[in-house]
Amino acid sequence: MKNFLAIKRNVAYASILLIGFNLGCTDLGETVYDQVPQDQYGNTEGQLNTLIGPLYNGLGGYFAAFELLNCVTDEELAPTRGGDWGEPEWKFMMEHTWPTNFYGFDNMWNFIYSNIAKVNQKITNPGFQSPEAQAELRTLRAFYHYLALDNFGNVLIADENAGDTPVQSTRKEVYDYVEKELLAALPNLSTNVRAKYSRMSKYVAHMILAKLYLNAEVYTGTPQWANAIAQCDSIIQSGQFVIATDFLSTFSVNNENSQEIILSTPFDKSKRTGLYLQMSTLHYLHQQTYDLGSAPWNGYCTYAEFYDTFEDDDVRKQMWLTGQIYSSSGEALFDDTQPAILTKEIPSFKMPAGPDARLAGYRSVKYQVERGATFDMSNDFVIFRISDVYLMRGEAHQRLGHLGEAMDDVNAVRTKRGVDGFSTMTLDDILAERGRELAWEYHRRQDLIRFGKFEDAWGFKPVTQDYLRLFPIPQSQIALNPNLTQNFGYPQ
Amino acid sequence: MLKFYHIFKSMLCLLILLSPGWTLAQERTITGKVMSADDNMQLPGANILVKGSSTGTVTDSDGQFSLAIGDNTTLVVSFVGYVSQEVVITNQTNVTISLVPDATSLAEVVVVGYGTVQKKDLTGSVTNLSQKDFNAGINPNPLQAIQGKVAGLNITQPSGDPNQAPTVRLRGYTSLAGGSDPLYVVDGVIGVPINSISPSDIDKIDVLKDASASAIYGSRAANGVIMITTKRGKDGRPTISFNNYIGMESISKRLDLLNADEYRAEVTRIKGAASLSDGLKFPTDANGNGYSTDWMKQITRTGYTNNHELALAGGTSQLSYRGSLNYMKREGIVKNTDFERITGRINVDQKALNDKLQIQYNLAVTRTNSNLTNDDVINRAILFLPTLPVHNADGSYYEVPGSFDLYNPVAMQQNFKKPVATTLLVGAINAKYEVAKGLTLGVNGALQSEQSRNQEAYNVNTKAYLGMLGQVSQSYSQANNKLLELTAQYKTNFGASNNLTVLGGYSYQGFVNDGFSAMNNIGDPSLADVDLYHLYGYNNLGAYQGTLIRGQSNYVSSYKNTSALISFFGRATVNLTDKYNITATVRRDGSTKFGANNKWGTFPSLAAGWTLSNEGFLSGGRTLNYLKLRVGWGQTGNAEGISPYRSLLLYGTPPGGSTSLSYYDPTTGQFLTGVDITQNANPNLKWEILSQTNIGLDFELFDGKVTGTLEVYDKRTKDMLYNYTVPLDGKNYFTSTQLANVGEMSNKGIELSMGGDVISSDNFRWNTRVVGSVFKNMVEKLSSGDYQSGEILYNNFNGRGLGLITASQLREGHPMGEFYIPHFRGYDENGNIQYETADGGVTTDYASAKKFEKGSGIPKATVSWINSFTYKHFDFSFQLRGVFGNKIINNLRSNLTLSGSILENNMLRDIDQYPANYSIPGLSDQWLESGSFVRLDNWQLGYNIPVGGNAIKNARVYVAGNNLFVITAYKGVDPELQVKGDLGANYATPNSIGMDYSNVYPKTRSFQLGVNLTF
């Protein structure tokens, strides 16, 4: 009996022990230490600022999204240099035979819609309900929609009216939406361009509208030249922006104070990395020219025909690296046993290995290469600038038959660049002028399409069909989103 | 009152023990010794019973016994794992009894989760190994010690890197992102890092292979469970073991690269003699002679291994102990790389309260110091030109400026340090108390604490490290966890020979991880000549200029996360007569890491065994002595790949100080750190579920001479975790991927393990065993609703200009690791690779080539042939291991035969077999080779020195080695490559399978000389 009692007592102790642990140890909630649940942040103005800032970090993805796709234009290509740069994308971008599952399209779509989602996530935050904050966020969101409609055409409008699953809209509907959003935002946007450097100021909204109207005929079938002129006027007449006397200063390492820039996305070699254009374009030996931390990749160059549109006196011609490659101490360098001389001509798209293949094509140093740069550069990447506005207004005037005003605007840029103004001017002259002024600034595809030249043959590219004016909706998005159908001309 | 009673009883016991005189009624005393017939080791703890009585004794720690007996007595001698023997005693006073190991081993006790079962009662698939089964040779890691020994457990050691842990995959590949490694349970402590354990401390390893056996570990058991039991002390006189070996390793096979003269000749042939005038690539010394350097030789050496172990064990019937100290240092064959480990372990067993209370105390400390390799050094040693000298005349390292590929590997090796030190402490107490007959309550508590320090330094004065501006860093991390488990087990017999065991339990394991790191760099190349690297290395991070000049946001970082796993589990086992066994288990796991909608999961299993040979219709056969059929089904989970907080929508700054959220503040002109959504939320996130059916046959043939097991399994993973692509519609998802449970994968296989004594005579014995398995993997499903894996491209084919060419793609209805590549149709006149097109023509455009399924990097079959021989005091063993049916893409060869690039890097001797104008590499079956091989994994020749007297109980010397030869048609260095199949560091694409790249740490051949002494 005593034994039995002892057992009972032991069982009882054990049971108490078990129950005690069960009560204390079945909580499966998570405590976060180095991040914060999203509903517990954004309560102070300082916290709100740290939420807005990264939206502009996201805008920095603009460079990476466009860098690749600019190889579909007549100003940039990456030829196959022996075994180097033999990936299929460089060829299919060049000859406009891209597949719908090309990662370059994924990158562009992801850049646009992940950023739209992040804006949407902030726009309903109680801390951002002031008219100014709403206007800035709506402008940023409209900018991404503008990029989507320009690249992909028939896309999703994602805002608070779209519900949980945005449906695909026509290019015209997206055009109307972007126009409406920007016009609504304009009154509450800041005109302080220094305080809003690299952010959505009033002039950025004007600029997006100007681009929208300038390309309205492409987007909707109905031209809006006068509206384009009006938007350009708003920017130019504000007097806030000036065409720089020193052309390359707009792209220098410390270009954040340039008065030409309407919108840029700031980079820093260590604090905001991601701009490495010099790595993609420079020859291996340029490591010694600029004392770079590692040898560049020797990829992008320009077509000889494009380079030939630059007159010798044109200061913009200095953006190209040509001829002999020197070390930083001035010594002429050799590639294998042959003098390292960059050649204008690219003998064929696919070149056999050797110095000739490596040295083919002129390279861009429009963005100043910092001596001793390791990988990332500190130049801010320019999205919109004032000389573009003059050229846009000039073009719109020309198309409306205001030839005098047109020539004034175009020559206002030319005379700053060390070349004589035009005395007579055609639309083709304006396209060429835009090419010289804006080379490798990622406006070229839009310009070629607007001028009806995107289907033309150039370099190694044959004549192509006009459905290619729109990029395909990325295959991965179509597969996942039943609300999306493929653009005309592409395999459904 | 109770207390006095206990004391009285204890004293009484003591008196009985100390009073041999009480047995004077017997007529005489016999003494003797019980030995094991297979290795002549004494057997302590063997039972000696006078037949037909209850009189008996147990051998002491030397295997000796002394027993008072009458005339013409028969002794029954028995010991677990050995065949019982009857010895008739006539007039001897001293006998030596040799027990033969029980070939069936059916009496062996097998460790399963939260308990043990007798092998004959097993229903699940469990393979048990003990120290004597371990591989010969240099085995720093317990996994290497059992490589090839367990059917279905594929252990791959893809390199000779002393710091690389082997890859372990049990029964195929069940997961992508969920984690693929088995769960390790060491003495009941869950999740102990396997490489912290010295193999010589291990008593037994039990591998729980099927769901029936492993489901008791629930959401962590899908990749199998490996249970490790360490050695413990026994009642008896203290024994001291002293085990030592030294080893020597060298590269087993070198890449057949051009030497300097051959390289100059090939350059002349391909590019013309004028190319030799390039003074940068073909420099000459003061006498005008070219240089000749073997870069692989420059960076490698003969590596020596030292292993010393001291163990002390002993105890009384109430308290026993074993303490051990092990030191191992293994030098890598690549200079400046090594692995050093010190382990200390103390296991104490205590019995109290009439042996009703049993307590095990385990304490283990492991300290490892490693000097890690820089893989790129090996890569550059292959590429760097043999015509270049190591040093310039002024003593500085020779470099080729402006070259994309050429970096002096010796300079890289000498200007880089990466030591890692890890300390692991595991302390555990396991107590069991029998509160009533058959009812045992248990508590198991354990604490694990792992602390790591990583240091790294790169000298900016080196071309290869200029790009990162030199770099110095230190990081400290801690991983701590607490385990508490409570169990109650009730065991009862009913009927004549039936028994029932019921187990219930609760488990809590809480994890806390944190750490921080600090980094700096030289800041500006112009400061290189300050040469802080040689002054401070990583020991004075603040002395460097980087923080002042560059102001990066990632100079310091820290993190902390916690998680907990809470479980309830139960098991019921019924054994009816000697014929039927039924086991049912269930575990209910809850994890903090799972999404809010799926916090708890239930993992059941059911299995039955039927010993057919005990049925009338089969018993008594001479050929087939034993036959048992086992059938089991169960579900296990896999969630180790889910890191904490993955289900939540969080604002954060990425730990590790990424600059991805920093933003420019126009007001201050500064870059500031921002906060943003870091991941898509997934409230449905949960474990993967693996359903597994297992059918097994255990058999014994020819009077137990041959034993074996044949098993068939069918596994299917559902809710497979992966970072699936989600639709970016601007509303629902912030990033393009989300960790979610979507896909399905299946694995089916057959396993066979059989063998026995082919010859067994007094002086000579040959035991042989074959262990083999075949399996077939299939990716069944990769999308559902909002989620799609997209094109998961992996197995990158590297080469100049080939950034995004991949040899494999995960596709539904195709196995993992399958190569999906074009067919090679020769070179055209310009040296371009021609691929076959869909219509049977040829193209030089890779994008237009048709792709074919060309086999897989994952082997179809793995077979080991294990042999051991004993002749008198000599023994010899070897193990051949074969891997069959896999393919390899020899990416190294494709890059080292590229004639057009011969001036960019060194090439293989075979380069003359390729067109001189071949300059654009391409992926095709041209580079596909069979990866089948047979390797002599290990061998050992030992001699047991006959020792007399009491001082030395056992003395043994041996020579042994690893990787004596490989038989293979593969043209690369070694066909045993990484076959991980889980996700790589980017968490987006699987690690490569069957790709032979250039930065593989060479495999080694080793020789070993050892001595074991037991006092």
Whether residue A440 contacts residue A70, with contact meaning beta carbons closer than 8 Å, is answered with: yes
Structural fold of domain B109-235: Ferric Hydroxamate Uptake Protein; Chain A, domain 1 (2.170.130)
Q: What does the pLDDT read at residue A176?
A: 97
Q: What does the pLDDT read at residue B102?
A: 62
pTM score: 0.84
Residue B70 clears pLDDT 90, i.e. is over it:
no
Q: What does the pLDDT read at residue A25?
A: 58
- Length of chain B, in residues: 1015
Tokens 């010589």 locate to B200
Residue B995 clears pLDDT 70, i.e. is over it:
yes
Identify which of A474, A470, A475, A462 has the alpha carbon closest to the alpha carbon of residue A488.
A470
Whole-angstrom Cα distance, residue A261 to residue A267? 14
Whether residue A289 contacts residue A304, with contact meaning beta carbons closer than 8 Å, is answered with: no
- Closest residue in B to A108 (Cα) is B728
Residue B1010 clears pLDDT 50, i.e. is over it:
yes
Q: Answer whether A273 sits within 8 Å of B659, measured CB to CB.
A: yes
Helix (H, G, I), strand (E, B) or coil at A107: helix
Q: Structure tokens of B833? A: 């690779």
Q: Answer whether A37 sits within 8 Å of B651, measured CB to CB.
A: yes
SS3 content of chain A, % helix, strand, coil (to 5): 50, 10, 40
Q: Answer whether A26 sits within 8 Å of B590, measured CB to CB.
A: yes
Q: Which residues of B fall within a CB distance of 8 Å from A58?
A: 676
Q: Answer whether A28 sits within 8 Å of B592, measured CB to CB.
A: yes
Among B2, B545, B659, B663, most A C-beta atoms within 10 A, so best to mutate, is: B663
Residue A394 clears pLDDT 90, i.e. is over it:
yes
Q: How confident is the model at residue A395 (pLDDT cuts 50, 70, 90)?
A: very high
Q: How confident is the model at residue B985 (pLDDT cuts 50, 70, 90)?
A: low
Helix (H, G, I), strand (E, B) or coil at B460: coil
Answer CATH for B23-99 from 3.40.50.2300, 2.60.40.1120, 3.90.550.10, 1.10.10.10: 2.60.40.1120
Whole-angstrom Cα distance, residue A309 to residue B454? 56
Q: What is the mean pLDDT of residues A170-199?
A: 96
Q: Which residues of B fall within a CB distance of 8 Å from A177?
A: none
Q: Structure tokens of B270? A: 């391909």
Whole-angstrom Cα distance, residue B208 to residue B123? 11
Residue B38 clears pLDDT 70, i.e. is over it:
no
Q: What does the pLDDT read at residue B621?
A: 62
Whole-angstrom Cα distance, residue B809 to residue B853? 10
Give B749's contacts (C-beta < 8 A, 6+ positions apart).
Answer: B152, B171, B172, B712, B713, B773, B774, B775, B776
Q: What does the pLDDT read at residue A47?
A: 87
Q: What is the mean pLDDT of residues A283-303?
A: 92
Q: What does the pLDDT read at residue B15?
A: 38
Residue of A10, A34, A56 lying closest to B663 (CB–CB)? A56
Q: What is the mean pLDDT of residues B92-109?
A: 71
Chain A, residues 292-321, CB within 8 A of chain B, namely 293-295, 297-298
Condensed to tens digits (0 to 9), the pLDDT of residues B399-454 reads 998 787 899 999 999 999 999 999 999 999 999 999 988 899 999 999 999 999 99
Distance from CA of B752 to the nearest CA of A (A): 43
Condensed to tens digits (0 to 9), the pLDDT of residues B515-547 reads 999 999 877 777 777 788 888 889 998 888 888
Give A75's contacts (C-beta < 8 A, 6+ positions apart).
Answer: A302, A303, A306, A435, A439, A440, A444
Q: What does the pLDDT read at residue B2?
A: 42
Q: Tell me the range of A171-175, B186-190, B679-683 where mean pLDDT is highest.
A: A171-175
Q: Answer whether A477 sits within 8 Å of B917, measured CB to CB.
A: no
Condensed to tens digits (0 to 9), the pLDDT of residues B233-271 reads 988 888 999 999 999 999 999 999 999 999 999 999 998
Whether residue B908 contacts residue B810, with contact meaning beta carbons closer than 8 Å, is answered with: no
Residue boundaries of the structural domains of chain B: 23-99, 109-235, 259-298
Residue B20 clears pLDDT 60, i.e. is over it:
no
Q: What is the mean pLDDT of residues A39-50?
A: 86
Q: What is the mean pLDDT of residues B834-848?
A: 91
State the ipTM, two decimals. 0.89
Q: Structure tokens of B770? A: 């074959």
Condensed to tens digits (0 to 9), the pLDDT of residues B186-234 reads 999 999 999 899 999 999 999 999 888 888 999 899 999 999 999 999 8
CB-CB neighbours of B871 under 10 Å: 12
Residue of A21, A54, A195 lying closest to B676 (CB–CB)? A54
Identify which of B194, B207, B101, B84 has the alpha carbon closest to the alpha carbon of residue B139.
B194
Q: Which of A154-163, B541-550, B784-793, B877-886 has the lowest mean pLDDT?
A: B784-793
Share of chain B above pLDDT 70, in %: 93
Cα–Cα separations (whole angstroms), residue A165 to B678, B736, B739: 22, 16, 21
CATH match of A47-252+384-480 with 1.25.40.390: yes
SS3 content of chain B, % helix, strand, coil (to 5): 15, 50, 40
Whether residue B763 contacts residue B874, with contact meaning beta carbons closer than 8 Å, is answered with: no
Q: How confident is the model at residue A269 (pLDDT cuts 50, 70, 90)?
A: confident
Q: Structure tokens of B590? A: 């809850």
Q: Is A199 on the interface with B (CB under 8 A)?
A: yes
Q: Structure tokens of B776? A: 């077939």
Chain A, residues 321-360, CB within 8 A of chain B, namely 333-334, 336-337, 350, 352-354
The secondary structure of B169-234 as a DSSP string is EESS---SSS--SPEEEETTEET--GGGS-GGGEEEEEEE-SHHHHGGGGGG-TT-EEEEEE----
Q: How confident is the model at residue B1 (pLDDT cuts 50, 70, 90)?
A: very low
Residue boundaries of the structural domains of chain A: 47-252+384-480, 277-381
CB-CB neighbours of B756 under 10 Å: 19
Phi, psi angles (nearest 5°) of residue B800: -60, 120
Q: What does the pLDDT read at residue A423?
A: 95
CB-CB neighbours of B764 under 10 Å: 12
Residue of A56, A114, A372 lying closest to B524 (CB–CB)? A372
DSSP H/E element including B559: strand B556-576
Distance from CA of A423 to the nearest CA of B (A): 42
Q: Structure tokens of B97? A: 């009894």
Chain A, residues 149-178, CB within 8 A of chain B, namely 156, 158, 162, 164-166
Number of H helices, E strands in chain B: 11, 55
Q: How confident is the model at residue B19 (pLDDT cuts 50, 70, 90)?
A: very low
Q: What is the mean pLDDT of residues B317-332?
A: 94
- Chains A and B form CB pairs within 8 A to the count of 304
Q: Answer whether A10 sits within 8 Å of B278, measured CB to CB.
A: no
Residue A12 clears pLDDT 70, i.e. is over it:
no
Give B647's contacts (C-beta < 8 A, 6+ positions apart).
Answer: B593, B594, B595, B596, B681, B682, B683, B684, B685
Q: Structure tokens of B431? A: 């107590």
Identify which of A339, A346, A385, A384 has the alpha carbon closest to the alpha carbon of residue A363.
A346
Q: What does the pLDDT read at residue B14?
A: 39
Q: How confident is the model at residue A17 (pLDDT cuts 50, 70, 90)?
A: low
Share of chain B above pLDDT 90, in %: 52
Cα–Cα separations (whole angstroms), residue B170 to A299, B86, B431, B693, B773: 45, 42, 32, 15, 11
Query: CA A37, A42, A47, A49: dihedral to nearest 10 degrees?
Result: 120
Share of chain A above pLDDT 90, in %: 78
Phi, psi angles (nearest 5°) of residue B774: -125, 145
Q: What is the mean pLDDT of chain A?
A: 92
Give the distance from CA B778 to its chain's centroid.
Answer: 24
Q: What does the pLDDT read at residue B776?
A: 93
Residue A336 clears pLDDT 60, i.e. is over it:
yes
Residue B807 clears pLDDT 70, i.e. is over it:
yes
Q: What does the pLDDT read at residue A370?
A: 92
Residue of B552, B590, B644 lying closest to A271 (CB–CB)? B552
Residue B950 clears pLDDT 80, i.e. is over it:
no
Q: How confident is the model at residue B12 (pLDDT cuts 50, 70, 90)?
A: very low
Whether residue B206 contacts residue B112, with contact meaning beta carbons closer than 8 Å, is answered with: yes
Q: Does residue B66 or residue B691 have the better pLDDT?
A: B691
Condensed to tens digits (0 to 9), the pLDDT of residues B693-745 reads 999 999 988 877 888 999 999 999 999 998 888 889 998 888 888 889 999 99
Identify which of B283, B235, B441 has the alpha carbon closest to the alpha carbon of residue B357.
B441
